[in-house]
Chain A
Amino acid sequence: MSSSTPRLVRTAQSDPVPPAADRADPTGPADAAGPTTPRTTPNENGDPGRTGTRARPDVAGRLFAMTATGAGATILVVLAAVAVFLVLRAWPAMTASAEELSEGIQWFPEGQTLLGFVGPLIFGTVLAAVIALVIAVPLAVGIALFTSHYAPRRIASGLGYVVDLLAAIPSVVYGLWGVVWLAPRLYPVWTWLADNLGWIPLFAGPASQPPRTVMTVGVVLAVMILPIITAVSREVFLQTPRLHEEAALALGATRWEMVRMAVLPFGRSGLISASMLGLGRALGETMAVLMILSPGFTYAFELLQAGRHQTIAANIANQFPEANPLGVSTLIATGLALFVITLAVNMAARWVVSRRKDFSGAN
């Protein structure tokens, strides 16, 4: 699955294409990673149709170019259409007064405005995603390092594939697994946390039982985003200039010191964008949250208590079936909020990557 993960950090291929000069290319990452720099050289990018033997305008060529451009533009159109249709459908809820909303929708909290309703949902969504990230990122860095720098070269890519397998599992199966297998096994851990670290507000007890809490959800989400973060960071780590690594080793650095001094600084911004990507996934995850979390609409930081948090995506899936037209509209408005948040996160990730291009460790 590694190649199905969107390459924020555009690199040479891991699997589908032979690892041609991945690590041997000394000039490698700086220019290979440039997302907007085509590999083609400038001169032959000029339209060869014009320089060719034919003088008359090439109709087929023009048609083809237009089709291609049209397809490119379609992407922008689709994205715009997503935004437009969501706004269109959400409009009745966005313009309705607080009374209309709580009159018309059973589950709408009394006397709240739409913003007041979306607020805790956004909080819950971000909270769950951040927990997932806090758990997944260190783990993913470890796994990526293991497959890129620690495991024997021969089995490394095979081991990488093992982690990628996690990405092949549909989210509804994660939900089933989380409810049936994981949650009961996490309960003792959460009780222990609440008993021993309960003085930290985050872990204030008593731990709910069954543990249908945002913390459990965070763990499941962490497992779900692990393969994406791992795949991207592995690619970045593999990009570390060979010379940097060898220089570090030549100075007497141990393997860990080499990793700390050469690999991690080089991969930092790639890691950040990988995490952002994982964050984007975790924000939008629906089924696993729907099946595991006991929802509640508060701004609570007690991670081990059930009935405090809910995510936007799970709330949509939960209330959509029974919702009346105004309810659907309200849910779509929350979906719009989710859309905006994920857009912002992804744009931030892109921004980090584009900065990396200019100030990457390779320069």
Chain B
Amino acid sequence: MKIDRLSRPATVVAIGALSLTLAACGSDNAVGGATASGSPDTEEVSTLSGQLEGAGASSQESAMQAWIAGFQSSNPDVSVAYDPVGSGGGRTQFLEGGTQFAGSDAALDEEELAQAAERCVSGEAAELPLYISPIAVIFSLEGIDSLNMSPATIAGIFDQKITTWNAPEIAAENPDVELPDQPITPVNRSDESGTTENFTEYLSATAPEAWPHEPSGDWPVSGGQSAQGTSGVVQTVTDGDGTIGYADASKAGSLGTVAVKVGEAYVPYSPEAAAAVVDASPRAEGRPDSSLVVELDRTTTADGAYPLVLVSYSLACTEYDDPADAELVKAFLGYVASEEGQTAAAEAAGAAPISDALRAEVEAVVESIA
């Protein structure tokens, strides 16, 4: 070795520096070409700038990515971040002032509403149902794409009372399908989630006899298969044979899905059917005007409604300490509620666009943010 002892560390450092320099040509401009050519109407210069931070439900993640992308492309000086920490974490961080907005699968409870009143200066919490997504009951059975089931049957299956695919309950509702003599493996979420909460709420509202458990974000039946997150459930159902689970409909992929019985008809999931049930449901009482919380009518018999839906809220304040924050939140939520924003979410996340009537209400609240 003729290399001088001192020059060796130097070589190492040089190599390191070199690789860093080579790597330092990255950019945030992942879709640069697309924005430049895709939206010529960015001519009307946006004057907004600043940073907007949000956190919350992971169910909204895909839609939020689309919203952020759309919003940032027309407001290039604004940077929006959304951390899918989960609804609970999102609410806590928002109420403590760590973030300017939050996404949550559940509305604020009374205690949180009181906290929100403090956080929002002299304003109130705004709760806007901007993400409506059908939950699909998915299954993996060879050669079968679709089954009809009543809420009671679904409840029986997930409560592990109906244990084979050719059980009379299922057969009676699917006379045209040849059901295999195979055990049913129900799959649920292992983590606490809004999807589970909405699913159990649906079961206990529509089939109280067959589903003896309280609605809860945590799965109440033990001993079945379970997995973390929507993708975990989808993966597990896909890997198995004779498995059945529930997941955000947009992630169902090519799995078989269940058409649920509403009134006398069987309705397959669709964004429109999910939006229909939200329109048919009343608002929760006794909350501030800015709080548009939907009391979902799970037992609806409305034509073409699919009552197994997840409504996820965007939480914000009607008043902020910093007027710049208020302006940003206002602009962002305005975009999210707009037709353009809702279409973006529908395309990216399979969400159900909100109806015009609901949009009018939301826009009124958004306008009041100051």
A and B touch in the complex (CB under 8 A): yes
Question: Chain A residues in contact with chain B, CB under 8 A?
Answer: 106-107, 179, 183-184, 206, 208-210, 212, 290-291, 294-298, 306-308, 318-319, 321-325, 327
Cβ contact within 8 Å between A322 and B239: no
Distance between Cα atoms of A290 and B227 in the complex (Å): 8
Residues of B within 8 A of A324 (CB): 88, 92
Cβ contact within 8 Å between A294 and B87: no
Residues of B within 8 A of A179 (CB): 235, 239
If over half of A's interface residues share one DSSP class (helix, strand or loop), that class is named, otherwise mixed; here it is loop
Residue from B86, B183, B222, B241 in contact with A298 in the complex, judged by beta carbons closer than 8 Å: B222
**Chain B: minimal CB distance from A116 (Å):** 15
Distance between Cα atoms of A306 and B243 in the complex (Å): 13
B58 close to chain A: CB less than 8 A: yes
In the A-B complex, the 5 residue pairs with the smallest Cβ-Cβ separation, listed nearest first, are: A321-B86, A210-B239, A107-B218, A322-B192, A322-B86
Cβ contact within 8 Å between B222 and A297: yes
Residue from B86, B192, B224, B240 in contact with A210 in the complex, judged by beta carbons closer than 8 Å: B240
Residue from A212, A291, A298, A325 in contact with B225 in the complex, judged by beta carbons closer than 8 Å: A212
Cβ contact within 8 Å between A307 and B235: no
Cβ contact within 8 Å between A322 and B225: no
Cβ contact within 8 Å between B241 and A209: yes
Cβ contact within 8 Å between A183 and B239: yes
B166 close to chain A: CB less than 8 A: no
Distance between Cα atoms of A323 and B217 in the complex (Å): 11
Cβ contact within 8 Å between A291 and B228: yes
Distance between Cα atoms of A212 and B192 in the complex (Å): 19
Residues of A within 8 A of B239 (CB): 179, 183-184, 210
B115 close to chain A: CB less than 8 A: no
**Chain B: minimal CB distance from A281 (Å):** 21
Cβ contact within 8 Å between B190 and A321: no
Distance between Cα atoms of A297 and B190 in the complex (Å): 11
Cβ contact within 8 Å between B222 and A209: no
Q: Knowing A294-B226, A324-B88, say if A319 contacts B240 (CB, 8 Å).
A: no
Distance between Cα atoms of A209 and B190 in the complex (Å): 17
Cβ contact within 8 Å between B190 and A294: yes
Q: Knowing A107-B218, A209-B240, say if A294 contacts B224 (CB, 8 Å).
A: yes
CB contact list, B241-295 vs A, under 8 A: 241-243
Closest B residue to A109 using CB positions? B222
Closest B residue to A310 using CB positions? B190
Residues of B within 8 A of A290 (CB): 228
B72 close to chain A: CB less than 8 A: no
14 A-B pairs with CB atoms under 8 Å apart are A106-B216, A107-B192, A209-B240, A209-B243, A294-B224, A294-B226, A298-B222, A307-B222, A318-B228, A319-B191, A321-B85, A322-B217, A323-B88, A324-B92
Distance between Cα atoms of A259 and B223 in the complex (Å): 47
Most interface-central of B89, B183, B193, B242 (chain A CB within 10 A): B89
Add 8 more A-B contacts to A295-B226, A307-B225, A319-B191 (CB < 8 A). A106-B192, A210-B225, A210-B239, A295-B190, A297-B222, A306-B225, A321-B191, A322-B86
Residues of A within 8 A of B236 (CB): 210, 212, 294
B232 close to chain A: CB less than 8 A: yes
Closest B residue to A208 using CB positions? B225
Residues of A within 8 A of B89 (CB): 321-323
Distance between Cα atoms of A307 and B192 in the complex (Å): 16
Closest A residue to B85 using CB positions? A321
Cβ contact within 8 Å between A106 and B223: no
Interface string of B354-366 (1 = CB under 8 A from A): 0000000000000
Closest A residue to B189 using CB positions? A318
B312 close to chain A: CB less than 8 A: no
Distance between Cα atoms of A307 and B240 in the complex (Å): 15
Interface string of B178-195 (1 = CB under 8 A from A): 000001010000111100
Q: Knowing A210-B236, A322-B86, say if A296 contacts B222 (CB, 8 Å).
A: yes
**Chain A: minimal CB distance from B333 (Å):** 24
Distance between Cα atoms of A308 and B224 in the complex (Å): 8
**Chain B: minimal CB distance from A186 (Å):** 11
Residue from A210, A307, A322 in contact with B87 in the complex, judged by beta carbons closer than 8 Å: A322
**Chain A: minimal CB distance from B267 (Å):** 30
